[in-house]
Structure 1
Amino acid sequence: MTHDHPADFEEIARRFSHLRQVLNQSSPETRDMLVDRVRDALDRGEARLSNADPEIVANSFVLEALVHDGSAIQVYRARHRDLGTLHAIKMPRPDHADDPVLRKLMLREAEIGMALRHPHTAATQTVLRLADGRPALVMEWIGSRLAGLLQERPLSLGEVTSVMTSVLSGLEAIHAAGFVHCDLSPLNLLADGDLSRLKIADFGIALRPGCRHDEFDLAFAAPPDFASPEQMAGQPLDERSDLYSAGCLLSLLLSHYDGESDGTEALQALANRLSRQVPQDRPENARAALHLLGGSAKRPVVGA
């Protein structure tokens, strides 16, 4: 080791001595939190100096393809090296490794995703800590988004009903767990061909009922075409905000139906009811909307 900058080492030693004093004087809970933050900082520094292969995560997952490259978040398709299973891995971009707000939001999203286990919600399987301290959410891999499928071909009326049944069933589970999704759109609906097994994904801006996004420093990121009026206005949200988005989705799906059927009028009437401007004018909850969908699929609804 060279001694080109002894003053730097003296300053480092002084700071670590001060840190040790703080740790010794802290409660066990505070001490654990501070120690973890120090480890995070050391991880980030070490990773910038190491020659580790960034294409392998936690010595277990091979990053095969970058499938989403956003301003702050990246999503990769990854394969487990031993099991051969496919997964989606979501992580902050490397230039956001030191962003404490983003880290907090991602861990919050992981807690929500891991608390939900339902056939129509995409599962978060675990959370990893990358070599540079970034959190990485490991999720089930579902290859296609509904947004892409809608560009490929028209839908049958049965497929429209299947999508909405999946969506409303998933929303019922999300609401029962005590959350409002707040970001329902074709971009966050995943399916591998079979639309009856479609799943709701991305809980990054989900809220507890009665909360606003600005209470949690959450960015408003929902597509304006699907966000409820109360969400656009920054008001407290409840489950009926998601039902508004579901109504907008149903209208979009019907625009991709290329046949003729009396059932389209009933479904469009349901879409209109779900997406009414005033929350009190919408169905009470997702279960009620599912009941209305079942009736709409069988017969026209007049005056809805």
Structure 2
Amino acid sequence: MVDHPENQDFEEVARSFAALWQALAAAGPGRRRSLVDQVRDALDRGEDRLAGHDMTIVANTFVLEAVVHEGTSTRIHRARHRDLDSLHAIKTLRPDQADDPVARNLLLREARIGGGIRHPNVVATETLLRLADGRPALVLEWIDRSLADLARETPLSVNDITHIVAAILTGLDAIHAAGFVHGDLSLSNLRYRDGDLSRLKIGDFGIALETGRRHRDLDIAFAGPPRFAPPEQLAGLALDGRSDLHAAGLILSMLLDHCRETGAMVERLRELAAILARPEPQERPENAKAALHLLGGLGKENPS
């Protein structure tokens, strides 16, 4: 009877597995757990190498699956938890920025700010890890959709836009209550999942400021998307919550350009957008709560 190569391979694997099992069984309970984790790690890495590419595993827990965004100093990966199979975003410094103290301090600062704000309309900061080369790695809630995606794909209803603006203002209220100005509102930083716009979340605290500070205080010459930045931010002045309201007004105006409906409610929303985006901070609503009050009254009367 001919012994097929497949059978020989299986017998060799079986012998190796039996020897491995004996070695694990001989270890004490505490040591055994560590050895099992090391074996799993080696198998995970080895399987990927057999497929022709290397796998990057962070903190023996997260597998980096893809780069989903690259900025001037940071990179964001989609990552999968090895045990829970859950998706996460991991934000870290680009390799060429690993030794930049300003970029490193900003990412650590982002972790501290985001970690201190827990709210349904704010992207959750889960933890901070280190890559093997020492770069900090910020683990964030994974949310695959942004308003930029939505605006490109489909016209919006008044109901959609109202839910979006309410979520933005509610999230801003939580951020401002924690003592910070977001400073970087944009369509790509407003995330949602499963089509639920009422639970839209504000993400990316990379250039957030304590209320009353300027970006130059953080060694940032210019910060924020010019399209949505208020005049005081463009001028390098101190910011407060009203600066974020200006950006929210510009975003509302843009969303209305994608609205498939017409009528009185659309015009009232346009009036609200103009109020939020007034050039001078003192001309805008006092805070996000006041802006929410204006939004809530749109069905009854014009904002003022």
TM-score of the pair, normalised by structure 1: 0.80
Question: Once the 2 structures are TM-superposed, how far is the Cα of residue 72 of structure 1 from its aligned partner?
Answer: 1.6
Provide the rounded CA distance (Å) in 2 between the counterparts of 1:282 and 1:98: 41
Provide the rounded CA distance (Å) in 1 between the counterparts of 2:120 and 2:246: 22
Whether the 8 Å CA contact 1:185–1:249 is kept in 2: the answer is yes
Aligned 1:170-249 pairs, distance under 5 A: 170-192=171-193, 193-249=195-251
Count of matched residue positions in the alignment of Structure 1 and Structure 2? 252
Residue number in structure 1 paired with 2:254: 252
Whether the 8 Å CA contact 1:262–1:300 is kept in 2: the answer is no
> Structure 1: 5+ residue runs without aligned partners?
1-50
Provide the rounded CA distance (Å) in 2 between the counterparts of 1:219 and 1:299: 44
Question: Once the 2 structures are TM-superposed, how far is the Cα of residue 218 of structure 1 from its aligned partner?
Answer: 2.7
Residue number in structure 2 paired with 1:68: 69
Residue number in structure 2 paired with 1:284: 286
Query: What is the letter of the counterpart of residue 83 of structure 2?
Result: D
Q: What is the DSSP-based 3-state SS (H/G/I as helix, E as strand, rest coil) of the residue aligned with 1:211?
A: coil
Question: Once the 2 structures are TM-superposed, how far is the Cα of residue 54 of structure 1 from its aligned partner?
Answer: 5.5
Residue number in structure 2 paired with 1:101: 102
Q: C-alpha root-mean-square deviation of aligned residues, in Å?
A: 1.5
Which of 271, 292, 295 does residue 293 from structure 1 map onto? 295
Residue number in structure 2 paired with 1:265: 267
Post-superposition Cα deviations, 1:268-300, rounded to whole Å, max 9, x if no partner, equal 11100000011111000000000000111x145
Post-superposition Cα deviations, 1:69-92, rounded to whole Å, max 9, x if no partner, equal 223211011000011111000001
> Runs of 4 or more off by more than 4 Å in structure 1?
none
Provide the rounded CA distance (Å) in 2 between the counterparts of 1:207 and 1:251: 25
Query: What is the letter of the counterpart of residue 121 of structure 1?
Result: V
Q: What is the DSSP-based 3-state SS (H/G/I as helix, E as strand, rest coil) of the residue aligned with 1:121?
A: coil
Query: What is the letter of the counterpart of residue 143 of structure 1?
Result: D
Whether the 8 Å CA contact 2:189–2:204 is kept in 1: the answer is yes
Q: What is the DSSP-based 3-state SS (H/G/I as helix, E as strand, rest coil) of the residue aligned with 2:216?
A: helix
Whether the 8 Å CA contact 1:205–1:219 is kept in 2: the answer is no
Q: What is the DSSP-based 3-state SS (H/G/I as helix, E as strand, rest coil) of the residue aligned with 1:253?
A: helix
Change (3 A) 1:164 1:60: same
- Bigger radius of gyration: 2
TM-score of the pair, normalised by structure 2: 0.80
Q: What is the DSSP-based 3-state SS (H/G/I as helix, E as strand, rest coil) of the residue aligned with 1:277?
A: coil
Post-superposition Cα deviations, 1:20-42, rounded to whole Å, max 9, x if no partner, equal xxxxxxxxxxxxxxxxxxxxxxx
Change (3 A) 1:65 1:219: farther
Residue number in structure 1 paired with 2:6: none
Question: Once the 2 structures are TM-superposed, how far is the Cα of residue 240 of structure 1 from its aligned partner?
Answer: 0.5
Provide the rounded CA distance (Å) in 1 between the counterparts of 2:221 and 2:169: 25
> Structure 2: 5+ residue runs without aligned partners?
1-48
Query: What is the letter of the counterpart of residue 199 of structure 2?
Result: R
